[in-house]
Amino acid sequence: MKIENIRKCPYCGYMYRVVPGQNAYSNMFSAPKGSVGIHSSVFVCPHIACGKTEVTVEAGFTPASNAGKAAERQKVSHDLANSFFSARLLPLEACGKQEFKTAEVPETVFHDYDQACRLLKASPCASATYARRCLQGMVRKKFKLKPGKFQNEIKTLASMNGTIRQEVVDALESVRKIGKFRAMPEDDVKVLVGVNYDEARQTIEVIEALLFDWFLAPAEREKRAGALKAIIEGKKG
């Protein structure tokens, strides 16, 4: 990625001039005869009230002629051609949407959702494991179900006539079928395996739709009903 002269701190939004060696530290690593390089950068926000660190990493192909030569590497260190991986390690990208961090959404539910979002790129399997736990938590909190197998919980929901729409049952079923649980030997932890990025992302989308439907929208309706009541009572008085 090309490092611009002016950078915006991802924590506080402060715009500052990048000064290598003062608030920006970059390095490029590549094997002497290799054609692949890793470019890592650390930025320290110069704003006195902030001072937080941003870390980025990028991997890409370097021209063969540049490989291993320190001087040449310096030259390409700010612009790695043909990059095939690029990520910000700090602060973590893809956090859960903050609109769901409200009193209506149980803390444990938001935590699992947030973890699922953060892990999406790095490990779809880990992300889906959290996402599934999040969904189960949502179902239990919303419908006050006794913890059991997800499969049985969905069946119970489907049998509660009028409580839940068929599309929601279908969405929950499709999430349940993603990946396979594998128990880790010697402990009780089960993780999902065989989940790809799109499946993990879809699961997060289902969570977001249901968080809105089950937790945010009812609270919003209640608020409006309260406002209506206040208007009418105001008129009476």
Per CB under 5 A, 212 contacts Zn ion: no
For residue 13, the minimal CB distance to Zn ion (Å) is 7
Calculate the CA 182 to chain-centre distance: 23
Q: What separation, in Å, do the N-terminal and C-terminal C-alpha atoms of the chain show?
A: 65
Per CB under 5 A, 14 contacts Zn ion: yes
**Assigned token pair, 93:** 């990208």
User: Alpha helix (H) ranges present in the chain?
Assistant: 70-76, 107-119, 124-143, 150-159, 166-176, 197-211, 217-236
Residue number with CB closer to Zn ion (14 or 143) = 14
For residue 15, the minimal CB distance to Zn ion (Å) is 10
| Residues 215 and 97: beta-carbon distance below 8 Å | no
Residue number with CB closer to Zn ion (49 or 103) = 49
How far is the CA of 205 from the CAs of 131, 137, 169, 201, in angstroms?
A: 10, 16, 15, 6
Q: How many residues bind Zn ion (CB under 5 A)?
A: 7
For residue 102, the one-letter residue type is: T
- Among the listed ranges 10-18, 108-116, 146-154, 215-223, the one in contact with Zn ion (CB under 5 A) is 10-18
Report the site for Zn ion in 26-45 (rule: CB under 5 A): 45
Residue number with CB closer to Zn ion (12 or 81) = 12
**Assigned token pair, 196:** 């790809």
- Among the listed ranges 5-13, 78-86, 103-111, 146-154, the one in contact with Zn ion (CB under 5 A) is 5-13
Calculate the CA 52 to chain-centre distance: 21
Q: How far apart are CA 115 and CA 96, in angstroms?
A: 8
For residue 88, the minimal CB distance to Zn ion (Å) is 14
Pair type for strands 24-30 and 36-44: antiparallel
- Among the listed ranges 1-9, 17-25, 121-129, 205-213, the one in contact with Zn ion (CB under 5 A) is 1-9
Contact track, Zn ion, 45-84, x by CB under 5 A:
x-x--x----------------------------------
- Among the listed ranges 8-16, 100-108, 199-207, 219-227, the one in contact with Zn ion (CB under 5 A) is 8-16
Binding site for Zn ion (CB under 5 A): 9, 11-12, 14, 45, 47, 50
